[in-house]
Amino acid sequence: MHDQKNKRFLIVKPSSLGDILHAFPAVAALRRAYPDAVLDWVVNPAFEGLLEYMPGIDRRIPFRRRELGKVKTFFPAFFSLWKEIRKRRYDAVIDLQGLMRSALTARLAAAREYYGPASGKEKLARLCYTKKLSWAKDVLHAVERNCAMIRGIPGVEDANPDFELPVLPAKKENAEKLLKEAGFAEKPEKLLIAVAPGARWETKQWPPEFFAGVMRGIAAQCADAVFLLLGSAAEKEAAEKLKEAAGNGIAVLDLCGKTDLGELIELIRMADLLLCNDSGPMHIAAAAETAVLALFGPTYPELTGPYCKRKKVFQPKLDCIKCFRKSCPDTLCHRSISAGEVVNSALELTGRSKKP
């Protein structure tokens, strides 16, 4: 396959934000191995803008999961997806998601080979692949697993798990404008801390009051600290509760629900630190080389935590931790980390020493 001149690849990795970012180093390695190839990507429209940060993608094929999940809209959405995928005949379709729906999506394509994970969450998905991609037992994190899998594609030898997230000038300009309009006066001594209080699961989301306590603790040690609230429109309520709990004594700029994906990325890149739950913004910070301080409860940071050097992950040592539950009547984990611990780590990550 590597000897052919004009290759055509289709990547199937529809969502989520973190999953897509975790695939960036692997897909970049595929592009390096095949610089002249056609490279298309099946992606959820909500995250389509993320692929602007992945150089070398020729076509973004929308996977409209919401419409595909409803009886009334399934058939129009399905035939639209099928039509878009069938516009090319691919040499290989590479499913990096490993779920039944992604494997079946891969099979919609007319292709010579269908690649997918040798071991995944849904065993039936493997039946859809002509070639299975594996990784060593000691390879844990999703970024490294994706890189290990892409090395199974003939011709791909160098696949390192390093991120290259380019700055998009237009998005950066918009982000700077949003900051200025929110009242941020950029000065060398200013400490800009981004705070993302939302998360997709209830069990992943620490209470707004906890974030407010950490912010007050940081502000008590750093008078020049400015806190930037970020998130989607759906997380606006959590941001409002956080502001109310934080009170009037600290500088808070609220841009929650006011950014598109590119502006969110550039704002996080500008920050000195991101304080967050296990969420999409956490993965953005890791890819953008912004220091990240993340709170973990039901999931495994070893598998899907922030993949970067400047980080601190807090996860309480409880018998019920890493439960993968999306809801919990107790959420003991949310009460098992002290705000003081997090404040100290935030000061260390930002190079600010605590006052004696």
pLDDT of residue 184: 84
Provide the pairing of β-strand 311-314 with 251-254.
unpaired
Could you report the per-residue pLDDT of 6-31, keeping only the tens digit for each? 799 999 999 899 999 999 999 999 99
Q: Give residue limits of the domains in the chain.
A: 8-150, 169-349
Mean pLDDT for the chain overall: 92
> What are the C-alpha distances in Å from 310 to residues 165, 242, 349?
16, 25, 7
Q: Classify domain 8-150 by CATH number.
A: 3.40.50.2000
Fold classified for 169-349: Rossmann fold (3.40.50)
C-alpha dihedral, 167 to 303 to 272 to 24, nearest 10°: 0
Distance CA 348, CA 314 (A): 14
Q: pLDDT truncated to tens, each residue of the chain (356 aa)? A: 445 557 999 999 998 999 999 999 999 999 999 999 999 999 999 999 999 999 999 999 999 999 999 999 999 999 999 999 999 999 999 999 999 999 999 999 999 999 999 987 889 999 999 999 999 999 999 999 999 999 999 999 889 999 999 999 999 999 999 999 988 877 667 899 999 998 989 999 999 999 999 999 999 999 899 999 999 988 888 899 999 998 888 999 999 999 999 999 999 999 999 999 999 999 999 999 999 999 999 999 999 999 999 999 999 999 999 999 999 888 889 999 999 999 999 999 998 765 44
Distance CA 343, CA 17 (A): 27
Distance CA 114, CA 94 (A): 6
pLDDT of residue 234: 87
Q: Where are the alpha helices (DSSP H) in the chain?
A: 17-33, 65-68, 71-85, 100-107, 142-150, 169-182, 208-221, 236-246, 261-270, 280-287, 301-304, 339-349
Distance CA 16, CA 310 (A): 23
Could you report the per-residue pLDDT of 45-63, keeping only the tens digit for each? 999 999 999 999 999 999 9
Angle ∠(139,144,148) on CA atoms, nearest 5: 85
C-alpha dihedral, 97 to 149 to 120 to 203, nearest 10°: -60
pLDDT of residue 355: 47
